[in-house]
Amino acid sequence: MKIAILFGANSFEHEISIVSAIALKKVLKEELVYIFCDYHRSFYLVPADKITSKRFSSGEYKKDKKLSIKNGGFYHKTLVSEKKLEFDVLLNVIHGSDGEDGKIASLLDFFHISYIGPRNEASVISYNKLFTKMYANEFGVKTLNYEILQKNEPREINLIFPVIIKPLRLGSSIGISIVKDKDELDYALDVAFEFDNQVLIEPFVNKIKEYNLAGYKGGKYNFSIIEEPQKEEFLDFDKKYLDFSRTKKVNEAKLSDDMANKIREAFIKLYEPLFAGALIRCDFFVLDNEVYINEINPVPGSMANYLFSDFSSAIKDLAISLPKNIKIPKTYKYIHKIQSAKGK
């Protein structure tokens, strides 16, 4: 199986996507082709042996083959014509906007390109933290209380401090602040509004238990181990992503079977059928023995490969279990009817 890794794009998490793409080189045993989408949304075919962070930061990638996306796939120009880039399935590794907000899913579906990753609906629901809450509640998974503020609204909130302020639509801890009292609110809102015109405000529960579970449905459900993320990482973007070479240390959660099952049950409630075709990581809270969904990451950092014992097989399993689109008959039934009624 030949897998295309699509990464980069016009996102605050552009650089994290490069980190993810590099990480996958080490863990995927399949033949890989790398498609880089730059900040300006031009596509390039980057040789797999030249995937280093410097290639992108220096602009050297611009010497690579330029690709265009159109019906059926990605194409590059040849002397006389153009050639389709061959691969069996594409893996969407673009984090944040473009990759997780549904634009890339839409492009790939529109142009009939087979891919692993969230479909458009799943992207929109998980990218917007309000929609995630609406969706989770609808399907019986608890969420924390919240308020929403618009950029141009009076900055009044009813939640009791401390609260946590988040841009409504980003991931990766960007623009997030913990606010201990009213005096700190303005600055935190200013920061969050840099990234979105809407912000989400939730109660900040100190020392809340956090558990991350990744998984997907291939032939059947395949779950990762449940991770208890290290607390100091929680809000620190720099620490989380600065060191490319760091081997991710996984802190497997010590949980009762009952609680582990509760977490997996919540995952299943959220996953199907919306997230079919994607390997996602759900970040849960546990409070008073109840499971709450904090965030659904439909394109998790490094694809959460470090949580799986055999990530390469997982991706192959998922690749052969992708959802199919409903076929639309290509007819002109009504127009023909009218024309014959008119005697044309």
> Interface residues for a copy of itself in 318-337 (CB under 8 A)?
326, 328, 330, 332-337
Q: Does 235 bind a copy of itself (CB under 8 A)?
A: no
Mapping DSSP to helix (H, G, I), strand (E, B) and coil, where does residue 112 land?
coil
For the chain, strand residue ranges (E) read 2-8, 31-37, 43-46, 65-70, 73-77, 82-84, 89-92, 115-116, 147-150, 163-167, 177-179, 198-203, 209-217, 221-227, 280-287, 290-297
| Local structure of residue 225 (DSSP, 8 states) | E
Q: Kindly identify the residues of this chain, within the stretch 250-279, that bind a copy of itself according to CB under 8 A.
A: 273
Residues 278-317: x where in contact with a copy of itself by CB under 8 A, - otherwise, as a string = ----------------------------------------
Q: Which of residues 116-175 bind a copy of itself (CB under 8 A)?
A: 120-121, 124-125, 128, 130-131, 134-135, 138, 150
Pattern 79-108, a copy of itself, x by CB under 8 A: ------------------xx--xxxxxxx-
Q: Smallest gap, in angstroms, from Cβ of residue 29 to a copy of itself?
A: 27
- Among 34, 36, 44, 56, contact with a copy of itself (rule: CB under 8 A): 56
Does 221 help bind a copy of itself (rule: CB under 8 A)?
Answer: no
Q: By 3-state DSSP, what share of the chain in percent is helix, strand and coil, each rounded to 5?
A: 35, 25, 40
Paired tokens of 18: 């490069």
Instruction: Give dist(CA 80, CA 288) in Å, integer.
Output: 67
Two tokens, residue 297 = 């990451």
| Contact criterion met (CB below 8 Å) for 284 and 291 | yes
21/25 Cα distance (integer angstroms): 7
202 in contact with a copy of itself (CB under 8 A): no
Binding positions for a copy of itself, rule: CB under 8 A: 10-12, 14-15, 18, 39-42, 53-54, 56-57, 68, 70-71, 97-98, 101-107, 109-112, 120-121, 124-125, 128, 130-131, 134-135, 138, 150, 195-198, 238, 241-244, 273, 326, 328, 330, 332-339, 344
